[in-house]
Structure 1
């Protein structure tokens, strides 16, 4: 007895088993597998009704996975790209801002072993932190604070 192609709902469940996905992400990933028009909207509706798709869990998952390596700016972009509710994104980013300096300091410490000695090093270290989504004020504080504080 052979098995047919998995349904959209089956594919969605397989994706959700790997990590949390927003509705928009699932629809984007499943779009190429829709055989009957309208079924692409139906599967996520059913999964959301059964709490398999939960925006707050998606937000919490991204923050948990990425906060140790990225600043609030980059995490905000990732959350927005997932099509999540703007209010949930704003709440998550506000929570991250409270620990932004400590997280930036730890990311900087893992990469560099000393404060910059000249303008070139300062620029390099600043670009490194900026690329990870940390803001200018936090970067200045990290690069001006001796490592023993």
Structure 2
């Protein structure tokens, strides 16, 4: 009976959106033992209903237009996705050029070059929070002569 309940819970979660195996383990933990959860998730994986690779690709596809590569990697790692799977998902989605994505995000939020050092720092913090590196941020904001930040 517990297995059916766990399986139903897992399938309900997967019906809403893709989940990583680690996410499902965490969500099912209050409802069964670790062994029961592993058995259920192994069976669901065998049936092709649970896939960390598919989850990572869906996650990257949904978030790539808003975040940099560093943040995408960090978020996937926090969700229990293996490093190789993360690399494959980023490669499959063609997430290579942070500069173009950062420029598009920056243009949508600000659109004008920073007028002073304070504004430059504000725009840089925004892009950094989105997961872009300092080299990318400097390229985007380089029109401002004050790059001391």
TM band (smaller chain): 0.7 to 0.9
CA–CA distance in 2 between the matches of 1:99 and 1:19? 27
- Tell me by how many angstroms 1:108 deviates: 0.6
Residues 99 and 21 of structure 1, relative CA distance in 2, 3 Å threshold? same
- Tell me by how many angstroms 1:110 deviates: 1.1
Give ranges in structure 1 of 5+ residues lacking alignment.
1-5
Aligned residues: 140
CA–CA distance in 2 between the matches of 1:137 and 1:92? 23
CA–CA distance in 2 between the matches of 1:21 and 1:40? 15
1:46-98: CA deviation from partner (whole Å, max 9, x where unpaired):
100001111211111110111011111111011111211211213344642x2
TM-score, with length taken from structure 1? 0.86
Q: How big is the alpha-carbon RMSD for the aligned residues of Structure 1 and Structure 2?
A: 1.9
1:15-34: CA deviation from partner (whole Å, max 9, x where unpaired):
01111111111000010111
> Which residue of the partner structure matches residue 45 of structure 2?
48
Give yes or no for the alignment of 1:69 onto 2:63: no
**Map 1:37-116 → 2, pairs under 5 A:** 38-93=35-90, 95-96=94-95, 98-116=96-114
> Which residue of the partner structure matches residue 3 of structure 1?
none
> Which residue of the partner structure matches residue 24 of structure 2?
26
TM-score, with length taken from structure 2? 0.86
Q: Which of 7, 14, 17 lines up with 1:16 in the alignment?
A: 14
- Tell me by how many angstroms 1:123 deviates: 0.3
> Which residue of the partner structure matches residue 125 of structure 1?
123
